[in-house]
Amino acid sequence: MAFNFYMPDIGEGVVEGEIVTWKVKEGDRVKLDQPLVEVMTDKATVELPSPRAGTIVKIHFKDGQICPVGQVLVVIEEDSAKPATAEARDAAPAAPARPADNGRAGHAAPVAPAAPAAPPRQSPPGPAAAPGAGGAAAFQVIDVSAGRPRVLATPATRRLARQLGVEIGRVPPTGKHGRVTAEDVRGYRSNGGTQPHAAPTAPVAPRHAPIAIAKGGDEERIPLRGIRKRIAESMARSKQTAAHFTYVEEIDMTELVAVRERGKARAAERGVKLNYLPFIVKACVSGLKKWPQLNASLDETTQEIVRKKYYHLGIAAQGPQGLTVTVVRDADRRSIFDLSREIERLSEAVRNNTATREDLTGGTFTITSLGKLGGLHATPIINFPEVAILGVHKIEERPAVRNGQIVARHLMNLSISVDHRLADGWDGAMFVQDVKTLLEDPTTMFMEMV
């Protein structure tokens, strides 16, 4: 029997995924849970395993193409089953997807219901289990014919629907790929629970016309896709939405350099490679507690500033596919050594392309550093929808005036970019000054730790 494997709902709010690379081709035999395809969403990059053992009959989306959630990714002819029908082999990728269970993670259903299908194999519940060998994530496989129609909506839109007492499944969607928007919910409510009879509107014009680059000589053209495309989209959205301003301050790291040197041996005994980032993380957490408007986001659907009382700090790391922000969760509850271990684990996961969705999402404030290549000054782009990002620059010996004398000190600059919609210049400057105080006098930092 041939089975359709649908693009799974990898995470709340995800409506589509880009096919990064197929691990199989048509005609290949696959085992149960064998990695089939690497898919990138705006949340993470994951490998989808095969929900059935059998033969690949038809691959519907090629590398670089976008597959909406609920569309057929691939048709698999199960072992010990009759050959797939010509209809299954030639099914067009644009064919309507079957309704999927709301909130589920993966979808597999029989193409030809000639006989009752055996109960599908289920993996542990949840959108994504911990990755196994090779970084493949396990997804739950269900029979979509048994489910109710699935609603595509962001968490903020779902929350708005609950607040307004609207059953979101009844709201006619107008968003991309059938997504229910906040405007849909409000319109449904204002019309007394009926579909609004709004006149059709013209398509929204792009911000600018696409630019064509004429050939000017020997050149190479590389498709903009994968993580590079995601970075481009994310950075453009941040610059177009957040009102950036940047503040820079010089930090005297001399005392902290000495503390780190003394602590390296003890860290090595515990298998920890001690660098400066854990100290900077701790100083930032202390500053964010005093200036909570920098540990926040703007809920645009409800026009609410959400100040977060948890501290999941993003660490921007360069990986083989580009810049990736990993997230150190509950940074306020971790020791210096524990932070060192977690930062190293996340860096390794980025280098090996095994980072999970949990490793890459949910940050509240981001730190970006290029280490020795950090330069003297930069204007980092905010990791939207966060409010601020801290740029850490290189530490080097430079002349400084202390007590009227010119002496050599280990100096470093910090650059903070802040969304002026939610925080003022005073807030950003005072935050950096608090961080500066702690880094320049590490004994004060240890007194602030919890």
| Catalytic positions | 420
Distance between start and end Cα atoms, the chain = 59
Say if residue 215 is exposed, middle or buried (CB neighbours under 10 Å; 0-12, 13-18, 19+): exposed
Degrees to nearest 5, angle at CA 357 with 311 and 74: 165
Q: How far is CA 259 from the centre of its chain?
A: 34
Give the DSSP H/E element, type plus range, for residue 368.
strand 365-369
Expressed in percent and rounded to 5, the helix, strand and coil fractions of the chain are 30, 25, 45
Backbone φ, ψ for residue 416 (5° rounding) = -120, 130
Which residue has tokens 């010509």? Answer: 86
Q: Which of 154, 5, 144 is nearest to 67 (CA)?
A: 5
Residue 400, phi then psi, degrees to nearest 5:
-140, 155
Q: Nearest CA to 294 among 94, 430, 415?
A: 430
Tell me how crowded residue 269 is: count the other CB atoms within 10 A of its CB. Answer: 8
Q: Rounded CA gap, 309 and 204, in Å?
A: 38
Strand partners, 29: 55
Pick from 161, 215, 214, 208: nearest CA to 189: 161
Rg of the chain over Cα atoms, rounded to whole angstroms, equals 25
Question: What type of residue sits at position 338?
Answer: D
Residue pair 288/431 in contact (Cβ under 8 Å)? The answer is yes
Pick from 275, 393, 287, 392: which is nearest to 339 by CA? Answer: 275
Three-state DSSP at 417 gives strand
Q: Which two tokens stand for residue 336?
A: 């210096």
